[in-house]
């Protein structure tokens, strides 16, 4: 095994082929994660309209006669696109050729849809026994509600997340991003990698299943065990932690800051810094501070009232208290720390030209010399069927329009 570094190292999934049959966000996000790791991801879309998210806007950008949805741009970098009608003989033929060569297929159809198209899991594995099939649904693949349509906000409510989010118990709120879709995509990519590892030992593919419901319950964390073990029903309580105090958002003069006082040592340092009596009976332990949360908030905001946000943050940092500001997204993408982590990338889009996208969240380094091996070159989300002809040629298939033209010529 060579340990020599190269100017443009390959990603850890270089050489793997992923066929992405999914649309909207959960499956495409999983596919994008695999693409970011170096896999070749071919996105199969409906002719004419493509992925649903191509029409999800505003905002749209680009020319009026060919507007591009920023939603689609968010979850399809580093992919190729081919348009296939899976109800046609031609579309099914191309897909079979792709599946025979693929390592992974991603789908998020309702249970039974692929079966009716002739691509059940059994049929796909008959074509390619080593294939890993990632299947994502809304409520799960079986059970009494498996056939319900699963959209993110519906699941945020059904899986209890909205009951934990908001200013109070009577103010349920959705999370500001489609977190059920994103998490199910992340769990799906994680499960896919595990299945590929197992395939290295067995030579056999398998089916990986997850759902928006499963993904949200999977991140209930301590709120889940409050319910299952302690018998409590957690409720939304705004911007303060349910089990730690002080921990949350606090107002100061002409601003606000967030602090996390997560240990008794930090509490004593914090109290000493701001002239708070750490040993008051209602403040003497974290459990007491949680029980007396409103008094804690009042005391902290009284201490902060004389400070503007930036000097206060500097003072907290100097004291070693974890603290931060609440940034808008334009501030986030201008932040030097974000750029230093490769979390902003530039790509060349066929219509839009150079565009800036949020970047991949993983970085890789050589164990031999700690040189960074993270992929640095990325491709823009593709136009619909942008790569269709090249993919057909790679498969050894004549493009459908060329075949039609040849047939017309023979008839003359």
Q: Output the pLDDT for position 400.
A: 53
For 173-232, how does the pLDDT look when each residue is reduced to its tens digit (9 = 90+)?
Answer: 999 999 999 999 999 999 999 999 999 999 999 999 999 999 999 999 999 999 999 999
Comma-separated ranges of CATH 3.30.1540.10 domains in the chain:
247-326
Residues 6+ apart with CB under 8 A from 187: 210, 214, 215, 218
Annotation says 181 is catalytic: yes
Q: Output the pLDDT for position 110.
A: 87
* pLDDT over threshold 70, residue 404: no
* pLDDT over threshold 50, residue 407: no
**Chain-centre distance for alpha carbon 23:** 14
How far is Cα 329 from Cα 158, in angstroms, rounded to an integer?
A: 28
* pLDDT over threshold 70, residue 9: no
Q: Output the pLDDT for position 410.
A: 46
Percent of the chain with pLDDT over 70: 94
For 15-29, how does the pLDDT look when each residue is reduced to its tens digit (9 = 90+)?
Answer: 999 999 999 999 999
Mean pLDDT in residue range 155-180: 96
For 290-315, how does the pLDDT look when each residue is reduced to its tens digit (9 = 90+)?
Answer: 999 999 999 999 999 999 999 999 99
How far is Cα 210 from Cα 184, in angstroms, rounded to an integer?
A: 7
Active-site hit among 36, 103, 181, 385? 181
How far is Cα 73 from Cα 281, in angstroms, rounded to an integer?
A: 54
CA-based torsion, 191, 196, 197, 199: positive or negative: positive
Buried residues in 332-367 as b, exposed as e (16+ CB within 10 A): eeeeeebeeebbbbebebeebeebebebbeeeeeee
Q: State the chain's mean pLDDT as an integer.
A: 93
Higher pLDDT, 400 or 171: 171
Q: Output the pLDDT for position 6.
A: 32
For 322-342, how does the pLDDT look when each residue is reduced to its tens digit (9 = 90+)?
Answer: 999 999 999 999 999 999 999
Rounded to 5 degrees, φ, ψ at 308 are -85, 165
C-beta atoms surrounding 41 within 10 Å: 28
Q: pLDDT band for 398, please (50, 70, 90 cuts).
A: confident
Mean pLDDT in residue range 278-284: 94
Give the bridge partners for 324, in sequence order: 258
Closest CA to 42 of 23, 20, 27, 24: 20
C-beta atoms surrounding 288 within 10 Å: 15
**Chain-centre distance for alpha carbon 20:** 15
- DSSP reduced 3-state for 390: helix
DSSP 162-219: HHHSSSSTT-----SS-HHHHHHHHHHHHHHHHHHHHHHHHS---EEEEEHHHHHHHT
Mean pLDDT in residue range 63-79: 96
Mean pLDDT in residue range 3-18: 69
Q: pLDDT band for 399, please (50, 70, 90 cuts).
A: low
Q: Output the pLDDT for position 196.
A: 98
Top-level CATH class of 17-219+337-403? alpha beta
Comma-separated ranges of CATH 3.40.50.10540 domains in the chain:
17-219+337-403
Q: pLDDT band for 111, please (50, 70, 90 cuts).
A: confident
For 31-45, how does the pLDDT look when each residue is reduced to its tens digit (9 = 90+)?
Answer: 999 999 999 999 999
- Whole-model pTM? 0.90
Q: pLDDT band for 411, please (50, 70, 90 cuts).
A: very low
C-beta atoms surrounding 21 within 10 Å: 26
For 235-276, how does the pLDDT look when each residue is reduced to its tens digit (9 = 90+)?
Answer: 999 999 999 999 999 999 989 999 999 999 999 999 999 999
Assigned fold of 247-326: formyl-coa transferase, domain 3 (3.30.1540)
Mean pLDDT in residue range 145-152: 92
Rounded to 5 degrees, φ, ψ at 41 are -115, 120
């Amino acid at each position: 095994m060579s340990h020599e570094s190269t100017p443009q190292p390959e990603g850890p999934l270089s050489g793997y082929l992923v066929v992405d049959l999914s649309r909207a966000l959960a499956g495409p996000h999983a596919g994008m994660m695999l693409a970011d790791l170096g896999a070749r991801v071919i996105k199969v879309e409906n002719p004419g309209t493509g992925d649903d998210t191509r029409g999800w806007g505003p905002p749209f950008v680009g020319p009026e006669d060919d507007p591009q949805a920023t939603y689609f741009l968010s979850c399809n970098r580093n992919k190729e696109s081919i348009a296939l009608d899976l109800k046609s003989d031609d579309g099914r033929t191309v897909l079979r050729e792709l599946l025979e060569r693929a390592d992974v297929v991603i789908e998020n159809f309702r249970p039974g849809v692929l079966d009716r198209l002739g691509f059940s899991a059994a049929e796909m594995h008959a074509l390619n026994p080593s294939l890993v099939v990632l299947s994502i649904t809304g409520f799960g693949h079986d059970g009494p509600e498996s056939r319900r349509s699963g959209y993110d906000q519906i699941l945020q409510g059904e899986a209890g997340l909205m009951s934990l989010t908001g200013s109070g118990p009577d103010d349920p709120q959705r999370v500001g991003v489609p977190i059920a879709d994103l998490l199910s995509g992340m769990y799906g990519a994680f499960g896919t990698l595990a299945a590929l590892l197992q395939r290295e030992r067995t030579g056999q593919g398998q089916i990986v299943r997850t759902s928006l419901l499963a993904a949200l319950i999977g991140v209930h964390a301590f709120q889940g065990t409050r319910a299952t073990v302690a018998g409590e029903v957690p409720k939304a309580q705004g911007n303060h932690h349910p089990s730690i105090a002080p921990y949350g958002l606090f107002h100061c003069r002409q601003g606000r800051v967030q602090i996390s006082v997560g240990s008794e040592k930090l509490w004593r340092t914090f109290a000493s810094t701001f002239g708070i009596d750490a040993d008051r009976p209602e403040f003497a332990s974290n459990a007491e501070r949680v029980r007396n949360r409103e008094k804690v908030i009042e005391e902290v905001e009284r201490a902060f009232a004389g400070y503007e946000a930036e000097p206060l943050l500097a003072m907290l940092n100097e004291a070693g208290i974890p603290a931060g500001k609440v940034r808008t997204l334009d501030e986030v993408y201008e932040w030097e720390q974000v750029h230093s982590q490769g979390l902003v990338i530039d790509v060349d889009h066929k219509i839009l030209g150079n565009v800036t996208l949020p970047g991949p969240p993983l970085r890789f380094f050589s164990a031999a010399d700690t040189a960074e091996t993270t992929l640095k070159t990325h491709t823009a989300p593709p136009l619909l069927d942008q790569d269709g002809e090249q993919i057909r040629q790679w498969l050894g298939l004549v493009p459908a329009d060329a075949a039609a033209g040849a047939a017309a010529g023979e008839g003359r």
